[in-house]
Amino acid sequence: MPKYRSTLAPDSFKGKNIVVTGGGSGIGRCTAHELASLGAHVTIIGRKQEKLDTVVAEIIEDGGSADGYACDIREEDKVKATVAAIVAKHGQIHGLVNNAGGQYPSPLVMITQKGFETVIRTNLVGGFLMAREVFFQSMNTRGGAIVNITADMWKGMPGMGHSGAARAGMDNFTKTAAVEWGCCRVRVNAVAPGWIASSGMDTYDPGTQERIKLLKNHVPIGRMGSEAEVSSVICFLLSDGAAFISGETVRVDGGAPLESGFLPLVTGKPTKIYNGFHRYKAPKVLEDQFKPDQE
């Protein structure tokens, strides 16, 4: 059976316990697979146990080690209990990937208070609760590394203002935590994916999906990114090779935010896609244009 082709050295995470939230699909699933392929025991967290069980079974079938916990990270008591259960079962938590999130397209004037607060709780409050509890219950005495997932929100996020506000907050939280927790040997960084061809794109309405097909025209390198191209950066930031990196947000976006609009964007042949994830399937909305094996 094919295996994950990571750019990191084999056994880079041997003996390490890593928690990945939102591990039942998309970037979280891909990251869990890569970490497991590198020797980590991976604990994935999500709201639906069935999805977690499927990913855990995939990882075990591929020769890795994993388990899953259903938990709504927006609920403080549930987060406390879930982290306590993980520590009781596995001991030290060496790394946390704060990947869980979600949003929906809408102009600001159409977002209700409930909708705005729900997205903020999912993309910001939940990440804070997970990081705080992992720090408090394990990392404050043993050290570790945290990677938060934000987004390309540097020019605002028109059409998803609730998510943009939450992601900007997570970027700032990353910097604050890096300073406050550094004395405990805890590094905190973030990864900001741009337009990534992930399974979540199939959940959007038809109008949004049509706009998604045009996004590659706004990326200097002429294409969208793969889940594995995000996962590789996450795994590096968790690794020993990133031991002197903290408080940083790494953009994985093909240079898209740098487009000024002053000059027409000229793109040539797209760069080769890195896709180390052997189980990856492009979202249906991009099946015709996103080919991970392209040169």
Convert the pLDDT of each residue in 222-261 to its tens digit. Answer: 899 999 999 999 999 999 999 999 999 999 999 999 987 7
Confidence grade of residue 294 (pLDDT, cut at 50, 70, 90): low
Pick 137 or 272 by higher pLDDT.
137
**69 Cβ neighbours under 8 A, 6+ residues apart:** 43, 44, 45, 52, 82, 85, 86
Give the residue-averaged pLDDT of 194-205. 85
Confidence grade of residue 205 (pLDDT, cut at 50, 70, 90): confident
How does strand 65-70 pair with strand 41-46?
parallel
φ, ψ dihedrals at 132, nearest 5°: -60, -45
Percent of the chain with pLDDT over 90: 79
* Residue that has been written with the tokens 């109008």 in this structure: 207
Q: What is the pLDDT of residue 64?
A: 97
Confidence grade of residue 293 (pLDDT, cut at 50, 70, 90): low
Residue 74 DSSP class: T
Give the residue-averaged pLDDT of 30-48. 97
Residue 147 pLDDT > 90:
yes
Average pLDDT value over all residues in the chain? 93
Confidence grade of residue 135 (pLDDT, cut at 50, 70, 90): very high
Q: What is the pLDDT of residue 67?
A: 98
**261 Cβ neighbours under 8 A, 6+ residues apart:** none
Residue 295 pLDDT > 70:
no
Give the residue-averaged pLDDT of 148-164. 93
For residue 252, the surrounding DSSP H or E stretch is strand 249-252
Extents of the domains making up the chain: 17-286
- Domain 17-286 in this protein, CATH class: alpha beta
Convert the pLDDT of each residue in 57-100 to its tens digit. Answer: 999 999 999 999 999 999 999 999 999 999 999 999 999 999 99
Convert the pLDDT of each residue in 208-217 to its tens digit. Answer: 888 888 888 8
Residue 1 pLDDT > 80:
no
